[in-house]
């Protein structure tokens, strides 16, 4: 079975500073990895996903994530955040090569302060 751990429940950061949101997963098989963002009172929106190939994945809104198989991590980064990036971010895993549901981490609330 797969599981996802998001190490930080809340991350406060100042505007224009860099940010890293950490995600570790546990799986004995190959996986697909995803980052979703949830703005207040909205559904989840896909930021980026890793399926295979290059370990550095670029997504929307200037975010990127790096898949590290040896450390079973998929950390999300942005070099300079904006106030509008304030939201909750969810890391998710899915068994590679098969259909089925996502398994989510508990989420990280990113709060960008002016």
Partner 1 sequence: GAGVSQSPSNKVTEKGKDVELRCDPISGHTALYWYRQSLGQGLEFLIYFQGNSAPDKSGLPSDRFSAERTGGSVSTLTIQRTQQEDSAVYLCASSLAVIGGADTQYFGPGTRLTVL
Task: Kindly state the smallest distance separating residue 105's Cβ from partner 1, in Å.
Answer: 7
For partner 1, the closer of residues 43 and 114 by Cβ is 43
The reply on whether position 41 binds partner 1 by CB under 8 A is: yes
Residues 11-40 that bind partner 1 (CB under 8 A): 32, 36
Among 105, 108, 110, 112, binds partner 1 (CB under 8 A): 105
DSSP 75-96: EEEESS--GGG-EEEEEEEEET
* Residue 7 DSSP code: S
Q: Decide if 103 contacts 92 (C-beta within 8 A).
A: yes
């Amino acid at each position: 079975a797969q599981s996802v751990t998001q190490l930080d429940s809340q991350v406060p950061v100042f505007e224009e500073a860099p940010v890293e949101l950490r995600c570790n997963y546990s799986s004995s098989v190959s996986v697909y990895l995803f980052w979703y963002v949830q703005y207040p009172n909205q559904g989840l929106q896909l930021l980026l996903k890793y399926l295979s190939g290059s370990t550095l994945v670029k997504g929307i809104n200037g975010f990127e994530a790096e898949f590290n198989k040896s450390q079973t991590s998929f950390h999300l980064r942005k070099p300079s955040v904006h106030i509008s990036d304030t939201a909750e971010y969810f890391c998710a895993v899915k068994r590679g090569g098969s259909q089925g549901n996502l398994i989510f981490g508990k989420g990280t609330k990113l709060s960008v302060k002016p």
